[in-house]
Structure 1
Amino acid sequence: MADPAPRKAIRVEGLRKCFPTPDGKSETEVFGDVWFDIHEGEFVCLIGHSGCGKTTLLNILAGLDKPTDGTIIVGDKEIDGPSLDRAVVFQGHALMPWMSTMKNIAFAVTSRWKNWDKAKVRAHCQKYIDMVHLTGAEEKRPSMLSGGMKQRVGIARAFSIEPKILLMDEPFSALDALTRGSLQDELVSICKATHQTSFMITHDIDEAILLADRIVLMTNGPEARVCEIVKNTLPKSRTRQNMHTDPNYYPMRNHLIEFLVNRSKSFRDEISAATYDPRNPPVVEPAASPDRAA
């Protein structure tokens, strides 16, 4: 018997977002007619140039902003505002500076489980502090932590409320390469262990290849659209150290670079060719030729 189809955790249906022009007489469409799904336990990345509305789209997913048109269904319910079932890791750490590591995480935990006693809250927080390798920094305030450590606290805080969906807005973009790589490895490990449904915005192609099961490609804004959805053809066992040795790595990477350099700008020509259905964006699987793969 075939395995049942994975359940859809998120359905983005006909999403459109406009902002008024400075004179207030008209509006500019940032993106429109956006359709895609995210399955339970899946890690999806979104790539696109600045100005295509990536952060705006994530804010709508988080319930922090509202679309002009369209809807987002989480589970079987249309979202209407923020929810503890959707945790967000922002570009900045967004920690409360007067609180310690433990208290920043406990603030989130007690928001979700209001009836827990202090001992249970502390034990739960400690589990996630240990998970992101911050043991010993429990009582340190953000001013005493490095940039990478602050982001670890933000990640621990997001995971601590055990959300159904984790939303990330370029959480490692401001970090040095070594720290970013270390946090990517931790995120891979945590998501594998928890089967966390995740949606992440990134500009980093190699980050997307490492983390994502599928990669959503957005065209340039304004009037951005989903160009296509790329299925990651590298094995799930990939790591930063070995993924470049897989025969599908360079076809995948070259496809994404070609999109960012050329196709993201020329996509309107593809739409005019009447071969594009926004409800069913094309799914591609870049892979090496059989001769090369062998």
Structure 2
Amino acid sequence: MTKPLISIEALARRYPKHGGGETTVFQDVWLPIRKGEFVCLIGHSGCGKTTILNVLAGLDQPSAGVVIVDGREISGPSLDRAVIFQGHSLLPWMTVMQNVAFAVTSRRPDWRKDKVRAHCQKYIDVVHLTGSEHKKPAELSGGMKQRVGIARALAIEPKMLLMDEPFSALDALTRGSLQDEVRRICTATEQTVFMITHDIDEAMLLADRIVLMTNGPEAKIAEIVENTLPKDRQRTDIHKHANYYALRNHLLDFLVTRSKTFASEIGAKGYDPRHPPVVRPGAKPTAVETEPPKAASA
């Protein structure tokens, strides 16, 4: 097996409690992420999803454990890791081109202006904002602002793209359109992505693996679900695939029921945090498929 690009090892985050002691939000989190892989993290509020993403971004420090990216331990923010937040976080006095160029010149300070502009234009075109280069954020819709954020993140060509529910504030049509764009771009560029979401269907469309967290406090990875849908899946017909409902029902069952009872499951079955269970939900064979072939008549 090839060495992972990102390795989360024994990660924990604790906060002091009022009156003494500590609250452990999550602990003993182990997760390797391969280059070009799209990983989604799902769990209820309070399990530390955003904290894990902030540690990956270098915006927060773990209480224990390390995150290693491309052989180096994370010790702070880096342009090797781009973050797309729930809000667009654009500079309101800058145009679309200037917002993207600001990130690119931070990454490539030795580039000439014409090279920066050409590079920015490439990613503005990728997110279908051609013609809006000179507009400021106040002139853009919510979906267009998020497209700028995506273009800005991709333009610095990060080793890892971190996404914290980037489509949650958008209407359903805009959200679906941007999900399609992100899947198309990340598949074409083989971008490594770590994304937080509460949306099961979003995770099923985008992710190669879906990581399920138990409820906090003291949350941990309960299991890792491998996406059994085709790599060339489309949002418009994903529900027609035989594995769709098996995968969706497995995820839904975890969020509704098993996220609360997983602690008792650990006691009954045992649990190795370094190797959490890996499952591949799929459609059960039909009676016709499982029936042995009949012998030919004489």
Normalising by structure 2, we get a TM-score of: 0.95
Compared CA separation, residues 292 and 166, structure 1 to 2 (3 A): farther
- What stretches of structure 2 of length at least 5 have no aligned partner? 290-298
- What stretches of structure 1 of length at least 5 have no aligned partner? none
The aligned counterpart of 1:34 is 29
What SS does the aligned partner of 1:276 have?
A: coil
Matched, 1:16 2:12: yes
Quote the offset at 1:88 in angstroms: 0.5
The aligned counterpart of 1:218 is 213
The aligned counterpart of 2:179 is 184
1:281 to 268, 276, 279: 276
State the distance in 1 between where 2:200 and 2:261 align: 20
Compared CA separation, residues 293 and 6, structure 1 to 2 (3 A): farther
State the distance in 2 between where 1:293 and 1:196 align: 41
Question: Over residues 53-72 of structure 1, what are the superposed CA-to-partner deviations in whole Å (9 max), with x where a residue is unaligned?
Answer: 10000000000100000011
Question: Over residues 63-115 of structure 1, what are the superposed CA-to-partner deviations in whole Å (9 max), with x where a residue is unaligned?
Answer: 01000000111111111101111111011111111111111100000001001
Matched residue type, 1:105: V
Q: Between 255-264 and 130-139, report the one with greater CA deviation.
A: 130-139
The aligned counterpart of 1:199 is 194
What SS does the aligned partner of 1:163 have?
A: coil
1:120 to 111, 115, 119: 115
Q: Are the counterparts in 2 of residues 72 and 78 from structure 1 also a CA contact under 8 Å?
A: yes
Q: Are the counterparts in 2 of residues 248 and 293 from structure 1 also a CA contact under 8 Å?
A: no
Compared CA separation, residues 34 and 293, structure 1 to 2 (3 A): farther
Quote the offset at 1:21 in angstroms: 1.7
Q: Are the counterparts in 2 of residues 6 and 40 from structure 1 also a CA contact under 8 Å?
A: no
What SS does the aligned partner of 2:124 have?
A: helix
The aligned counterpart of 2:91 is 96
What SS does the aligned partner of 1:104 have?
A: helix
The aligned counterpart of 2:47 is 52
Quote the offset at 1:20 in angstroms: 1.5
2:222 to 221, 227, 244: 227
Quote the offset at 1:189 in angstroms: 0.7
The aligned counterpart of 2:253 is 258
The aligned counterpart of 2:292 is none
Matched, 1:81 2:76: yes
Question: Over residues 109-141 of structure 1, what are the superposed CA-to-partner deviations in whole Å (9 max), with x where a residue is unaligned?
Answer: 000100111111111101111110111111111
Q: Are the counterparts in 2 of residues 247 and 292 from structure 1 also a CA contact under 8 Å?
A: no
What count of residue pairs does the alignment treat as equivalent?
Answer: 289
Normalising by structure 1, we get a TM-score of: 0.96
| Aligned alpha-carbon RMSD (Å) | 1.2
